[in-house]
Chain A
Amino acid sequence: AQKITQTQPGMFVQEKEAVTLDCTYDTSDPSYGLFWYKQPSSGEMIFLIYQGSYDQQNATEGRYSLNFQKARKSANLVISASQLGDSAMYFCAMREPSSGSARQLTFGSGTQLTVLP
């Protein structure tokens, strides 16, 4: 089974509008972390936001917020007031103890966001 599922290969949003990028995950560990990264065409993965499984409140970082619904195993990224520079690939990732000592990230397949002027 897929650990991280991103069902939207591509999304379009008008500049200054808000957009939600979907992410669902699958784990049996009670303790895990969820991350969102942005990857522009240059290739670098840029860390955006983190949510721990025990965090009571949804994470926020500037224009980014994470809509964490634990029972539904979803961790959607909300970008408010979209800017042209937000056009990029967005990846959801999970870190879980059962991945071993490495605690490596498991990534979804990504969503290509295009912001329209």
Chain B
Amino acid sequence: GAGVSQTPSNKVTEKGKYVELRCDPISGHTALYWYRQSLGQGPEFLIYFQGTGAADDSGLPNDRFFAVRPEGSVSTLKIQRTERGDSAMYLCASSPSGGTQYFGPGTRLTVL
């Protein structure tokens, strides 16, 4: 079956701009996670959705970051007023509730 998909695969933007990153989870997976991975490091948790609601957003670094999952399937991570330090790989994962997380191919964000 289809795995987790993420678009775009690469995004280059300028400092101060707004970006949206999209995640399409595995069909039927109720849990969805966003992680951020800086170069040479392991992924770090950003936010978790169970169904439509953000059940845990404790990993979001500041209020420039926001994510939605309006219909309990596709999720969008939104970053306002991007900064150079936001440059990273953004990974999305989905799981059956409490189960193993399966990751998408990621979006590599570069802020110039």
Using CB atoms and an 8 Å cutoff, list the residues of chain A in contact with chain B: 4, 35, 37, 42-47, 50, 91, 93, 100-110
Q: Contacts A45-B103, A47-B100, A101-B55; is A109 near B108 (CB within 8 Å)?
A: no
A108 CA / B105 CA spacing, docked (Å): 19
Contact surface of B with A, Cβ cutoff 8 Å: 33, 35, 40-45, 48, 50, 55-56, 58-59, 89, 91, 93, 98, 100-106, 108
Q: Are B42 and A108 in contact (CB-based, < 8 A)?
A: yes
Partner of B105, one of A4, A42, A104: A42
Nearest residue, chain B, Cβ from A106: B45
Chain A residue nearest to B105 in the complex (CB)? A44
> Which residues of the partner chain B approach A43 to less than 8 Å between Cβ atoms?
89, 91, 105-106, 108
CB distance from B44 to the nearest CB of A (A): 7
State the main secondary structure of chain A at its contact with B: loop
B62 CB to nearest A CB, Å: 18
- Taken together as a complex, chains A and B put the C-alpha atoms of A35 and B43 apart, in Å, by 13
User: CB within 8 A of B55: which of A47, A102, A105, A107?
Assistant: A102
Q: How near does chain A come to B99, taking the closest CB pair, in angstroms?
A: 9
Which chain B residues border A47 with CB–CB below 8 Å?
100-103
Q: Which residues of B contact A45 (CB under 8 A)?
A: 43, 91, 93, 103, 106
Chain B residues in 8 Å Cβ range of A4: 42
Inside 8 A of A106's CB, which chain B residues have their CB? 45
Q: List 8 A-B contacts (CB under 8 A).
A: A4-B42, A43-B108, A47-B103, A103-B98, A105-B101, A107-B44, A109-B42, A110-B41
Complex Cα spacing A109 to B108, Å: 19
